[in-house]
Amino acid sequence: MDMGLNNKTALITGSTKGIGKAIAFELAKEGVNVLINGRNYDKVEQTVNEIKSKFPATSPQNATADIVDKEQREALFEKYPNIDILVNNMGIYEIMSYEDVDDEIFEQYFRTNVLAANGLAKFYLPKMLKNNYGRVIFIASEEAIMPSAQMPQYAMTKSMLLSLSKSLSKLTIGTEVTVNTIMPGPTLSENVHQIIDGMYPEEVLTFSEKEKKFMTTNLPQSEIQRFIKPYEIGRLAAFVCSPYASAFKGSPTVWMGEWYPLFSKY
């Protein structure tokens, strides 16, 4: 399906691996000129070259920056002042007990997962409104509405993104600009793949068998009984970015997880 995104420009934060990279590839597949972001120049450049090789009709660009750092964020704005699509994907997470999460850790998560995304939205959203076209997507998590208590500092910031998304969506009334949130359930990122692989080192099992064993033991309530593939989230993101999704506004508008429907709108 042609998503109608040819020659649009998209900035995807944290897009050298995992969900962010998958979104970048799926948007490039639709003819989008993607701006690849990460803190490591070489890794960003490698991803840019991969996309250019696979989708030569597009013009992927290197957007290396630590977007948590205000000065680097402003340098990014100067280099790329105009975009059509902003995907706030970058974030940190770690399983932690509540008693181990001190104020410094809470502040680190707030600066990284919320303020950095807000800084980008605050710069680009007014330009989108002026042009009467744009897409802003926040990548949150099912932890935002159903915390597991294993990552309280992470769940808190993802709930904040839902609130921020809803607030920003109110500014887009009557325009062709949308602000939405995708809340992935358990996703098979590179890190998760390594963790699952390492959980059963003594057993001669294929990865699919390890995955099934993990899901049966740890997530028996899952209806799909497997991890979501990053490209599946990428395809969903491409649709949300497209003109076909112009009716989807607000938060929570889009999520992916084992207990929820694909789309929901308040």
Confidence of residue 265 (pLDDT cuts 50, 70, 90): very low
Residue 133 annotated among the catalytic residues of the structure:
no
For residue 217, the model assigns a pLDDT of 78
Q: Is 139 helix (H, G, I), strand (E, B) or coil?
A: strand
Helix axis angle for 116-131 and 70-79, nearest 10°, is 30
Contact of 254 with 182, CB cutoff 8 Å = yes
Environment class of 136 (CB within 10 Å of its CB; exposed 0-12, middle 13-18, buried 19+)? buried
Arithmetic mean of pLDDT, 166-191: 89
> What whole-number distance in Å separates Cα of residue 58 and Cα of residue 8?
10
Q: Is the pTM of this model over 0.75?
A: yes
> What whole-number distance in Å separates Cα of residue 187 and Cα of residue 190?
9
For residue 185, the model assigns a pLDDT of 75
Confidence of residue 252 (pLDDT cuts 50, 70, 90): low
Q: Give the tens place of pLDDT for each residue, 2-51.
A: 899 999 999 999 999 999 999 999 999 999 999 999 999 999 999 999 99
Q: Choosing from 124, 154, 231, 266, which is the catalytic residue?
A: 154
E-state strands within the chain = 9-12, 33-36, 61-62, 85-88, 134-139, 177-183, 254-255
Percentage of residues in the chain having pLDDT higher than 70: 93
Q: For residue 229, what is the DSSP state?
A: P
What residue segments make up the domains of the chain, in order of their start?
9-187+228-255, 188-227
Q: Does the 9-187+228-255 domain belong in CATH 3.40.50.720?
A: yes
